[in-house]
Structure 1
């Protein structure tokens, strides 16, 4: 079975340097060091730039920073910028408020299989615990089993078993497209498959479903899904939800593309200027 020779972790961020620092620190502590980090910055100010420069000075793996002007929510385009800057043959998209477990990269590497993408899983953190973690710079991956259970019982984690169990790569394949667990905050795709469908479609306006659109087009191109739950967990720091003004219209586009069997983005990797 083909394994990824080099993994690129593309971390999207926007004006939240404390969360970004926590995420990148967890990337530095991975048990697999054969990867690079691309920070894909959707128009943050100098606070984030300064944070990234400090992280670059002590990064144990290659770390690059790509930036675009702040013209509203343009996550699709900045992920494409990150993809173009990446050198790996396997790409993991990770949000800048999602702290990866220590085996995040190694588990994604184990699950990687030609013809499949892997949609990962996340554990939601409460507002109170998010604040405490960032203020005190806590290492969430150093928690013991009992501490994790206590956090779950107190309502600070929305899951427990996923934080302590790793299940084998069995029965993870999904033969049909579904909306369930499509989250680009934790999504792994072969670079060749991204090129095949022209990456994310930056014609999507506002928040919502640009990740679903990518997965629909990949499915139309013959790429199936694997479920990364109980293997590729991230801890999602709490934040206020984005405005969802365009969600309904974006969803309608995705449904139409599923029906039309569309594969290529209208404005994707090849249209970046």
Structure 2
């Protein structure tokens, strides 16, 4: 089976440099360093730029910063522009508040397979543990199992079994479509497949469902989905819920496209061709 060679990790961020620094420094500690980092910045201010400059100076892997003006929630555009700046044949999308474990890259590489995407898994941290991670510099990815068990028992994280068990690449590929566990905060996709469906669709307004739209379009284009649970877990730092004014209308669009078996983004990668030229 052919696995991904160079991996590009596209990390989306918006005005949360403390979380971004924790995420990127965890990337620096990966046991597989054959990857690059693209910070896909949806309009953050100078604090984030300064943070990225510090990180780039210390990075053991190539690191680039792709910034766009703040014109509201435009994560789909940020991910597309991050993809265009990437050099890898395999893109792993990671959010700037999701701390990867030490073998995150290695596990994504091992699960990568032509004709498939990998929808990763996450473990939610509560507000109290998130504050300790960011304020005290706790390395949650390196914490011993005893500490993690204590956090789980006290309700500071919502899962632990996924951290103690690694499931092999058996029975992960689903031939039928499921809406469950579609999260662009931890998603591995071949670049050629993204190009085939024109990437994320930037025509969505506000927060919500642009990740589901991508996955369902990839499915209709013939890309099957692998479940990345018990292999690719990330620690999702707590944050206040984003405004979801457009969520119901966005979901309606996704369901209509799914029924029509749409594969192409209305506004996506190809619309940025002039930037790559």
Q: Which category describes the TM-score, using the shorter chain as reference length?
A: over 0.9
**Is the CA contact 2:201–2:214 (under 8 Å) kept in the aligned structure 1?**
yes
Q: Distance in 1 between matches of 2:95 and 2:142?
A: 21
Is there any run of 5+ residues in structure 2 with no aligned partner, and where? none
Please state if 1:238 is matched with 2:238: yes
Q: Distance in 2 between matches of 1:231 and 1:42?
A: 29
Count the aligned residue pairs.
273
Is there any run of 5+ residues in structure 1 with no aligned partner, and where? none
Offset at residue 165 of structure 1 (A): 1.4
State TM-score, norm by structure 2: 0.98
Offset at residue 174 of structure 1 (A): 1.1
The alignment partner of 1:23 has SS state of helix
The alignment partner of 2:79 has SS state of helix
1:81 is matched with: 81
Q: Distance in 1 between matches of 2:150 and 2:75?
A: 35
Offset at residue 143 of structure 1 (A): 1.0
The alignment partner of 1:251 has SS state of helix
Offset at residue 49 of structure 1 (A): 0.1
RMSD (Å) for aligned C-alpha atoms:
0.6
Q: Distance in 1 between matches of 2:218 and 2:142?
A: 36
1:159 is matched with: 159
CA deviations over 1:43-70 (Å, ceiling 9, x no partner): 0000000000000001000000000000
Q: Distance in 2 between matches of 1:189 and 1:54?
A: 29
2:94 is matched with: 94
Offset at residue 180 of structure 1 (A): 0.3
Please state if 1:142 is matched with 2:126: no
Offset at residue 262 of structure 1 (A): 0.5
Dislocated runs of 4+, deviation >6 Å: none
1:38 is matched with: 38
Q: Distance in 2 between matches of 1:142 and 1:90?
A: 26
Q: Distance in 2 between matches of 1:5 and 1:131?
A: 36
Q: Distance in 2 between matches of 1:163 and 1:240?
A: 25
1:229 is matched with: 229
The alignment partner of 1:267 has SS state of coil
2:189 is matched with: 189
Matches within 5 A, 1:186-225: 186-225=186-225
Please state if 1:130 is matched with 2:130: yes
Offset at residue 11 of structure 1 (A): 0.2
The alignment partner of 1:270 has SS state of helix
State TM-score, norm by structure 1: 0.99
